[in-house]
Amino acid sequence: MPELPEVERARALIERRALGREIAAVDDTDTYVCRPHAPGELAEALTGRRLVSAHRQGKAMWIETDGGPSLGLHLGMAGRIVVDDAAAGDPKRDGPGGHRPVWDRFTLTFADGGHLILRDKRRLGRAVLDPDLGGLGPDAAEIGRDAFRERVGRGEAPLKARIMDQGVLAGVGNLLADEALWRARLDPRRPAGSLDADELDHLRRVIRAATRRAIARGGVHTGDVIPHRRRDGVCPRCGADMARATIGGRTTYWCSAEQGG
C-alpha cells in the first residue's frame, strides 16, 4: 500500500485518534523493524510520554512527544497504522472468517488501554527514535514550481527514476509515478534533463493533483491507470497496448501510443 497518500492517511488517523494520549507500554521487540535500536530502547524513551503532534514528509512520518524524543514510523512496502483496531486507509479486514495471523511489529499501548500499532505483513517498515530526515527532498504534494524545475529537470537518469528519487522529491513511489506520467503523457524513459520548463511545470501540477486525488479517494490503487498495469493491459484513454519494462529498478507500465514507443 504505502506511498505518500497512504502515509498521509495514516498520519491523519494518528492526528485524529491518538494525540494527547499517554504511552503506558511499548513493544519494540522486533529487532529488524526497530533497528538499530536494541529491544527496550524505544520503550525506555517513550513510556510515560504523551503524543503531541503527527507529521509527514514524503513517505516518512514522525510523532512528537511531550519533552521526549520523536518517534519515526515508516510503512515500508506493506505497513499500516492501526489505532484501536481501526485500520488506516484500507477498510478490508484480515481474512473473511479466517484466522489469519496478525503482523504487529511495533505497538504503543496507551494508559487508557488503546493501542497504536505498526502492522506490517512484511517487515520492511521501521520504528525509530529521532529519525534522520536530512536526505529527503521537498514533499511531492507541496513542492513549488521553481524547486521542482531545479530538482527534477536535470540528469541523464530516466524521468521516472528521477521523480522516485526520495532525495530529489519525497513521496512518489512506483505506482504514483506510473499514474502521474501517464496523466502527463510523458515517456518514463526520457532523460529527466531533456524536459523543458513547460513540461516540468505540467508534470509538477499533475503529480500534485494525482497525489491529492489519491489521498481523497483512499490510496494510490484508486488511480485510473493502475488497474491496467498488467501484461496485455490496454490504455484506458486510447486503447493502445500498455508497454512494460524495468525502469529505475521497478516494473513500469506506460501507454505505447501516448507516452512514446
- Amino acid present at 162: R
Q: Which is nearer to DNA, 120 or 184 (CB)?
A: 120
Q: How far is the CB of 114 from DNA (least distance, A)?
A: 25
Cα 3 from chain centroid (whole Å): 2
Site map for DNA, 125-154, x if CB under 7 A?
----------x-------------------
Site map for DNA, 78-107, x if CB under 7 A?
-----------------------x-x----
Residues 190-193: contacts with CB under 8 Å, at least 24 apart: 190/158, 190/159, 190/260, 191/155, 191/156, 191/157, 191/158, 191/159, 192/152, 192/153, 192/154, 192/155, 192/156, 192/157, 192/158, 192/159, 192/161, 192/162, 192/163, 193/153, 193/154, 193/155, 193/156
Interface stretch with DNA, choices 14-22, 106-114, 201-209, 219-227 (CB under 7 A)? 219-227
Q: Which is nearer to DNA, 60 or 108 (CB)?
A: 60
- Amino acid present at 100: R
Beta bridge partners of 64: 53
Nearest to 122 by CA among 51, 33, 248: 33
**159 contacts DNA (rule: CB under 7 A):** no
Is-contact 116 82, C-beta < 8 A? yes
Site map for DNA, 177-216, x if CB under 7 A?
----------------------------------------
Q: How far is the CB of 133 from DNA (least distance, A)?
A: 10
For cell 504534494, what's the residue?
141
Q: Which is nearer to DNA, 50 or 190 (CB)?
A: 190
Nearest to 169 by CA among 9, 4, 12: 4
Is 2 among the catalytic positions? yes
Residues identified as active-site? 2-3, 59, 250
Contacting positions for DNA (CB under 7 A): 1-3, 6, 32, 58-60, 74, 76-77, 101, 103, 121-124, 135, 155-158, 161, 166, 173-175, 219-221, 246, 248-251
